[in-house]
């Protein structure tokens, strides 16, 4: 059955770095409202805002100290109401980030739990006694060090899967769950279209709380083995859905790392906990694991292709996916997937279309649509992201030199995607009249929105075009709802698939190489739906592709 959210194109905003309306150097909600014309012109239909709730900003808002208030630097509740209302007039929906695995340590619940001996909130978090003066287990936090932090003047520790300023909530406690459900419903009643649900597979911990064999020089062990997607999570997620989401016609996008494909059916599809989830299998193909950046992998285009298709086919079996190549935790896609010497208009647009026309709801991360790139920093002091700093020191511990460690962090740092948006080539790229909270990427004088607007062969205009083709083109049904059918091509750096819907069929071919290449495909019709060059050479048996050429052809099924 078709769902309204399959038709959306979602634009992810990192509010801190989008647009600063009042010159304090920090992007804000009013800044988003001011840019609604741009977003509507781009053609996106929904915005996902990264957390804007009250927060000490240890992890830039993923550490919430009040779920019911905005962080003052982002604005007021009135500002948000205004944004929701004005966006609605432009047919743009809003979803917020839902961070319910943990709160900030500055949340009143946690403060009461550690300061009040009879606190009713003690059981809102996970406290355990130390063992012989040591941490209760050897689990390693995602952001480094032990997951356990000692409570001052006691032998008690609290658990934090992420930073020590992000204590995990105790989902075993029904009161916690009910308080969270009330909060979710409060926001949905406000007229939000739904949520992106943060780190949700971490809510269930292995209840035995035992150490496991260490896997690093620090003697600690992967927390993902003991506190991610553990048995029993189904009870919590079913209840979450029943008591909140299912009462509304809302969309939910789960950040659900650690879900094997054979469990997808529980997470998505008619009976799933969420409308869709992100699959990180191809976003993380340059590293062994998303939380160990120093374990780099040499990957190939063929591998990228295999991972994308595997993911697409598994999702297709049971439901719907969220398609992305960038977000606030990932490096910029061009920098990750395209070699430096090959970065140009053709490779950028080829990459954009490759992801955009996969089956699922496409996400565009701010700045992706103008081709923003990674920003190389020369000193560890220039990083803001706490995981970058941890990965740097962890790399040193694992035996890498300072230069190597810096390089590793530059490739993967979450700060790459968090530099301010490039509006134009004036001071601070037009982002702020004050001093930006984080350094800008120096290439803003070349790569910026103003320079690309209304220009032929600009990445921005290309994005507008692909959004238009998917949303309102002759082949929209096929490109939105159509099945995906991988094409088996025996050239390793060409990726090709078909989208098929009723009597429509679109062949999509992407040359992931800086050389011209031909593939044999029996193409009868020549209705070219999209092409990043002016021409394409197609014979009855062959498609001849120029370097990084992509083409979408409406034709009979091949
Ligand atoms: C998610 C967010 C990330 C955050 C973490 C902890 O992975 O995307 O930015 O640091 O959860 O909340
Ligand atoms: Ca501001």
Q: Which of 463, 494, 526 is the C-terminal boundary of a domain?
A: 463
pLDDT at 526 over 80: no
Mean pLDDT of the chain: 97
> Catalytic residue at 58?
no
What pLDDT shows up at residue 539? Answer: 87
pLDDT score, position 289: 87
Q: Are residues 419 and 379 located together in one domain of the fold?
A: yes
Q: How many domains does the chain divide into?
A: 2
From the CB of residue 245, how many other CB atoms can be counted at a distance below 10 Å?
A: 23
Same domain for 295 and 386? yes
Segment 423-427 shows an average pLDDT of 98
- Rounded to the nearest whole angstrom, what is the distance from the C-alpha of residue 198 to the centroid of ligand 1? 6
Q: Check residue 174 and give its pLDDT.
A: 98
Model confidence pLDDT, tens digit, residues 244-254: 999 999 999 99
Q: pLDDT of 9-57, one tens digit each?
A: 999 999 999 999 999 999 999 999 999 999 999 999 999 999 999 999 9
Tokens of 243: 């008591």
pLDDT number for residue 133: 87
H or E element that contains 309: helix 301-318
* Among 17, 52, 329, residue to substitute to test ligand 1 (most atoms within 8 Å of Cβ): 329
pLDDT at 315: 98
**What is the number of the ligand closest to the CA of 23?**
2
Answer whether residue 365 is part of any domain.
Answer: yes
With a 6 Å cutoff on the Cβ, whether 73 touches ligand 1 is no
Q: Does one domain contain both 487 and 459?
A: no
- If you measure from the C-alpha of residue 68 to the centroid of ligand 2, how many angstroms do you get, rounded to a whole number? 20
- Per-residue pLDDT for 525 more than 80? no
CB neighbour class for 472 (10 Å; exposed up to 12, middle 13-18, buried from 19): exposed
Report d(CA 92, CA 74) in Å as an integer. Answer: 20
Q: pTM of the entire structure?
A: 0.98
Least confident of 14-18, 215-219, 343-347, 430-434: 215-219
User: Does 377 lie in the same domain as 514?
Assistant: no
Q: Is residue 182 part of a domain?
A: yes
Q: Does 99 sit in the ligand 1 pocket, CB within 6 Å?
A: yes
Q: Which ligand 1 atom lies nearest to the CA of residue 387? A: 10
Both 322 and 396 in one domain: the answer is: yes
In a domain, 323, yes or no: yes
Cβ of residue 162 lying under 6 Å from some atom of ligand 1: yes
54 φ/ψ angles, rounded to the nearest 5 degrees: -60, 135
pLDDT value at position 301? Answer: 97
pLDDT of residue 287: 96
CATH code, domain with 54: 3.20.20.80
Work out whether strand 46-49 and strand 93-98 pair parallel, antiparallel, or are unpaired: parallel
Residue 96: inside a domain, yes or no?
yes
Domain boundary residue, one of 431, 463, 495: 463
DSSP string of 161-201, one letter each residue:
SS-TTSPBB-TTSHHHHHHHHHHHHHHHHTT--EEEETTGG
Question: Is 208 inside a domain boundary?
Answer: no
Q: Which tens digit of pLDDT belongs to each residue from 297-333?
A: 999 999 999 999 999 999 999 999 999 999 999 999 9
Q: Which of 198, 284, 314, 369 is catalytic?
A: 198
Q: What is the DSSP letter of 434?
A: S
Looking at all shown ligands, the one closest to residue 418's CA atom is: 1
Share of the chain above pLDDT 70, in %: 100
Q: Which two tokens stand for residue 73?
A: 């630097």
Residues 356 and 395 in one domain: yes
- Residue 539 Cα to chain centre, angstroms: 40
| Ligand 1 atom closest to the CA of 414, numbered from 1 | 9
Which residue, among 518, 473, 517, has the nearest Cα to 499 in the 3D structure? 473
Q: What percent of the chain has pLDDT over 90?
A: 96
pLDDT band at 437 (very low <50, low <70, confident <90, very high): very high
Residue 83 near residue 94, CB atoms below 8 Å? yes
pLDDT at 385: 97
Which residue range is the domain that position 36 belongs to? 8-102+175-202+251-463
Let me know if residue 545 belongs to a domain.
Answer: yes
50 CB near ligand 1 (under 6 Å): no
User: Is residue 156 flagged as an active site residue?
Assistant: no
Q: Which is catalytic among the residues 105, 135, 149, 255?
A: 255
Structure confidence by residue, pLDDT tens digits, 259-275: 999 999 999 999 999 99
pLDDT single digits (tens) 64-120: 999 999 999 999 999 999 999 999 999 999 999 999 999 999 999 999 999 999 999
User: In the predicted model, what is the mean pLDDT of residues 154-164?
Assistant: 97
Asked if residue 267 belongs to a domain, the reply is: yes
Tell me the ligand closest to 415's alpha carbon. 1
Phi, psi dihedral angles at 453 (to 5 degrees) = -65, 135
């Amino acid at each position: 059955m078709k769902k309204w959210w399959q038709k959306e194109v979602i634009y992810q905003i990192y509010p801190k770095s989008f647009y600063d309306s009042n010159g304090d150097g920090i992007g804000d909600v009013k800044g988003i409202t001011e840019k609604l014309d741009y977003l509507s012109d781009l053609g996106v239909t929904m915005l996902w805002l990264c957390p804007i709730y009250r927060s000490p900003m240890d992890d830039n808002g993923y550490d919430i100290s009040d779920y019911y208030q905005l962080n003052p630097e982002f604005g007021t509740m009135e500002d948000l109401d205004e944004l929701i209302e004005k966006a609605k007039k432009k047919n743009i929906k809003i979803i917020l980030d839902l961070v319910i695995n943990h709160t900030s340590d500055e949340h009143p619940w946690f403060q009461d739990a550690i300061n009040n001996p009879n606190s009713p909130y003690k059981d809102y978090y996970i406290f355990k006694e130390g063992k012989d003066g040591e941490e209760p287990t050897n689990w390693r936090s995602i952001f480094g060090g032990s997951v356990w932090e000692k409570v001052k003047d006691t032998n008690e520790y609290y658990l934090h899967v992420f930073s020590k300023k992000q204590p995990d909530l105790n989902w075993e406690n029904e009161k916690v769950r009910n308080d969270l459900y009330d909060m979710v419903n409060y926001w949905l009643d406000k007229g939000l279209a739904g949520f992106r649900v943060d780190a949700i597979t971490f809510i269930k911990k292995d209840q035995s709380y035992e150490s496991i064999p260490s896997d690093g020089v620090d003697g600690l062990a992967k927390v993902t083995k003991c506190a991610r997607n553990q048995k029993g999570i189904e009870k919590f997620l079913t209840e979450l859905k029943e008591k909140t989401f299912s009462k509304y016609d809302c969309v939910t996008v789960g950040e659900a790392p650690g879900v094997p494909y054979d469990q997808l059916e529980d997470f998505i599809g008619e009976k799933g906990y969420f409308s869709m989830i992100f699959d990180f299998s191809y976003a993380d193909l340059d590293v062994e694991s998303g939380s160990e950046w120093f374990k780099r992998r040499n990957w190939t285009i063929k591998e990228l292709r295999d991972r994308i298709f595997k993911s697409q086919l598994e999702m297709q079996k049971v439901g719907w996916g969220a398609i992305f190549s960038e977000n606030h935790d990932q490096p910029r896609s061009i920098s990750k997937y395209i070699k430096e010497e090959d970065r140009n208009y053709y490779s950028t647009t080829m990459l954009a279309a490759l992801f955009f026309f996969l089956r699922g709801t496409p996400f565009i991360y701010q700045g992706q649509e103008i081709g923003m790139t990674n920003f190389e920093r020369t000193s560890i002091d220039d990083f803001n992201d706490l995981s970058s700093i941890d990965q740097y020191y962890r790399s040193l511990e694992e035996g890498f030199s300072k230069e190597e460690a810096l390089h590793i962090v530059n490739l993967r740092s979450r700060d790459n995607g968090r530099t301010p948006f490039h509006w134009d080539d004036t001071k601070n790229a037009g982002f702020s009249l004050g001093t930006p909270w984080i350094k800008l990427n120096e290439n803003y004088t070349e790569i910026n929105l103003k320079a690309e607007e209304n220009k032929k062969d600009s990445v921005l205009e290309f994005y507008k075009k692909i959004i238009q083709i998917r949303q309102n083109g002759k082949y929209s049904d096929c490109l939105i709802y159509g099945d995906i059918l991988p094409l088996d091509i025996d050239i390793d750096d060409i990726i090709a698939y078909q989208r098929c819907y009723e009597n429509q069929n679109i062949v999509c071919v992407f040359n992931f190489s800086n050389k011209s290449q031909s593939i044999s495909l029996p193409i009868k019709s020549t209705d070219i739906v999209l092409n990043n060059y002016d021409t394409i050479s197609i014979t009855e048996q062959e498609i001849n592709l120029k370097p990084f050429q992509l083409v979408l052809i409406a034709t009979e099924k091949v």
